[in-house]
C-alpha cells in the first residue's frame, strides 16, 4: 500500500506534491503569499523557486521546505523583478545563494528607495486600505467587491510586514541557461528575455516533466500585462507548448497543463483585439474599459477587475501610440 505523505500546512499557501521531492506552493487568496512558489529537493541541496510577496508567508515556506527536504535551502531562484515574487528573500538569505537574471537584478535595485520611503511614511498604504474599505461598502458589483477584498487583505499584510522588511538582492545572475545538479535530479534554469517583464526566467525539471514558469503563467486569472511585450510573451508560450512537460506551475492561479498555456496566449490576443477594435472605432480608453471579455475570460474578472483595468489602459496606450 502506498503511504501518502502528510504535507505541511500554512494559512498562506497550499502545498502540492508534483513528484518525489518536488512541491508547488499555491497562494491562498487573502493570505500573505500573493504569488506561487516551489520547493525542489535536488538531492544534497534544496532549491526554492520565488519567495512570495511577504516574509510572513516566506517563513512558512522555509519551515515547510526544511520539513520536506531535511535541510535549509541552498538556492533561491527568483523568476522576475516584480516584488510580489521576492520580498520574502530575507527569510532565506542566511543559507541560500539567490539567483536571477542579470536584467531582473538591475530592475530590483530601485525598490530600496521605494521601501525605505514607505517605511518612513506608510500613509500611502494606510490610505489605500481606508479608501478601499469605503469603496467596498458602496460597491454592488460582486466582481469588483472581490477585487477590493483582495486588495485590502494584500495591503494589510504588506503594512504588517513593513517595519521588519529588509530587501535582499540576488547573489548570482545569469543569462541563457544554468544547470543545477543534485544527486537526485537536475534543474535547468532558462531565460529567453522579454515576456511578462523585460526579463523572465523559469525552472524546468525535465525528468519529472514539471516546469515552474513564474508570471509567464497566470492560470484561471487575469494576467498582469502592464510591463509586458505581448508578442514575446506569446512566442514563449508557443515554445512551452512544444516541451515534453506535463505540469506547469504558474506565478498566479492553480496548477495547469498545456491547455492553460493556450488559454493564457488567447487572453493576451483577445485583450489586444478588444482594445484595437475600440481604437479603430474612434473610442476612448473609457469605452475600452466598458467592453466585456468573452468566455472563459469573463469568469477570470472576479477578483481581477483592477488587473483588467490596468491591462486595458496599457494596451490602449501601446496600440494607439499615445
Ligand atoms: Zn509579475
Is residue 27 within 8 Å of residue 150, measured between CB atoms? no
pLDDT score for 292: 87
Q: How many CB atoms lie within 10 A of CB 289?
A: 15
pLDDT score for 223: 96
Mean pLDDT of 171-192: 98
Instruction: Report percent pLDDT > 90 for the chain.
Output: 95
Confidence at 301, pLDDT banded by 50, 70, 90: confident
197-207 as b/e: b if 16+ CB within 10 A: bbbbbbbbbee
Decide: helix, strand or coil at residue 179.
Answer: strand
pLDDT score for 304: 87
28-57 as b/e: b if 16+ CB within 10 A: eeebbbbbbbbbbbbeebbbbbbbbbbbbb
CA of 20 to the centre of ligand 1 (A): 28
CA of 3 to the centre of ligand 1 (A): 37
pLDDT score for 4: 57
Note the pLDDT tens digit of each residue in 272-290. Answer: 999 999 999 999 999 999 9
Confidence at 5, pLDDT banded by 50, 70, 90: low
- Residue 18 CA to residue 2 CA, distance in Å, equals 16
Q: Residue 311 burial (CB < 10 Å; 0-12/13-18/19+)?
A: buried
CA of 200 to the centre of ligand 1 (A): 9
Question: Nearest Cα to 149, choosing from 305, 299, 310, 309?
Answer: 305
Confidence at 2, pLDDT banded by 50, 70, 90: very low
Mean pLDDT of 94-101: 97
- Residue 162 CA to residue 245 CA, distance in Å, equals 38
CA of 218 to the centre of ligand 1 (A): 9
Strand intervals (E) in the chain: 13-19, 22-27, 37-41, 46-49, 75-77, 97-101, 172-174, 177-181, 186-191, 201-205, 210-218, 247-252
pLDDT score for 185: 98
CA of 183 to the centre of ligand 1 (A): 32
Note the pLDDT tens digit of each residue in 123-135. Answer: 999 999 999 999 9
Q: Model-level pTM? A: 0.96
Is residue 236 within 8 Å of residue 281, measured between CB atoms? no
Mean pLDDT of 170-175: 98
Q: Tell me whether strands 75-77 and 201-205 are parallel, antiparallel or unpaired.
A: unpaired
Is residue 74 within 8 Å of residue 215, measured between CB atoms? no
Phi, psi for 168 (deg, rounded to 5): -120, 120
Instruction: Please identify which residue in the block is written with the cell numbers 496600440.
Output: 319
Phi, psi for 101 (deg, rounded to 5): -80, 160
How many Å separate Cα 114 from the centre of its chain?
20
Q: CA-CA distances (angstroms) from residue 284 to 26, 227, 280, 304?
A: 38, 21, 10, 22
CA of 82 to the centre of ligand 1 (A): 5
pLDDT score for 322: 77
Note the pLDDT tens digit of each residue in 236-264. Answer: 999 999 999 999 999 999 999 999 999 99
Instruction: Please identify which residue in the block is written with the cell numbers 501610440.
Output: 321
CA of 191 to the centre of ligand 1 (A): 15
- Residue 183 CA to residue 93 CA, distance in Å, equals 23
Confidence at 321, pLDDT banded by 50, 70, 90: confident
Amino acid at each position: 500500500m502506498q503511504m501518502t505523505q502528510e504535507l505541511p500546512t500554512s494559512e498562506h499557501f497550499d502545498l502540492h506534491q508534483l513528484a518525489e521531492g518536488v512541491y508547488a506552493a499555491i497562494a491562498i487568496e487573502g493570505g500573505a503569499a500573493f504569488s506561487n512558489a516551489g520547493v525542489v529537493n535536488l538531492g544534497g541541496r534544496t532549491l526554492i523557486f520565488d519567495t512570495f510577496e511577504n516574509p510572513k508567508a516566506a517563513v512558512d515556506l522555509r519551515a515547510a521546505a526544511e520539513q520536506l527536504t531535511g535541510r535549509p535551502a541552498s538556492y533561491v531562484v527568483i523568476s522576475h523583478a516584480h516584488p510580489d515574487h521576492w520580498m520574502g528573500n530575507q527569510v532565506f538569505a542566511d543559507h541560500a545563494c539567490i539567483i536571477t537574471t542579470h536584467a531582473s537584478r538591475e530592475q530590483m535595485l530601485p525598490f530600496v528607495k521605494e521601501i525605505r520611503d514607505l517605511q518612513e511614511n506608510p500613509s500611502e498604504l494606510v490610505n489605500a486600505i481606508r479608501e478601499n474599505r469605503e469603496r467596498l461598502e458602496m460597491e454592488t458589483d460582486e466582481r469588483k467587491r472581490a477585487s477590493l477584498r483582495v486588495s485590502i487583505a494584500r495591503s494589510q499584510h504588506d503594512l504588517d510586514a513593513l517595519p521588519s522588511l529588509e530587501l535582499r538582492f540576488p547573489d548570482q545572475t545569469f543569462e541563457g541557461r544554468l544547470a543545477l545538479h543534485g544527486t537526485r535530479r537536475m534543474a535547468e534554469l532558462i531565460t529567453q528575455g522579454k515576456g511578462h517583464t523585460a526579463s523572465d526566467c523559469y525552472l524546468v525539471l525535465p525528468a519529472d516533466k514539471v516546469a515552474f514558469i513564474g508570471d509567464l503563467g497566470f492560470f484561471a486569472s487575469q494576467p498582469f500585462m502592464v510591463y509586458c511585450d505581448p508578442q514575446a510573451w506569446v512566442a514563449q508560450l508557443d515554445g512551452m507548448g512544444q516541451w515534453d512537460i506535463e505540469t506547469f506551475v504558474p506565478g498566479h492561479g492553480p496548477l495547469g497543463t498545456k491547455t492553460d498555456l493556450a488559454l493564457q496566449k488567447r487572453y493576451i490576443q483577445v485583450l489586444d483585439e478588444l482594445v484595437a477594435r475600440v481604437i479603430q472605432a474612434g473610442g476612448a480608453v473609457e469605452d475600452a474599459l466598458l467592453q466585456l471579455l468573452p468566455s472563459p475570460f469573463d469568469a477570470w474578472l472576479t477578483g481581477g477587475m483592477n488587473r483588467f483595468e490596468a491591462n486595458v489602459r496599457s494596451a490602449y496606450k501601446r496600440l494607439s501610440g499615445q
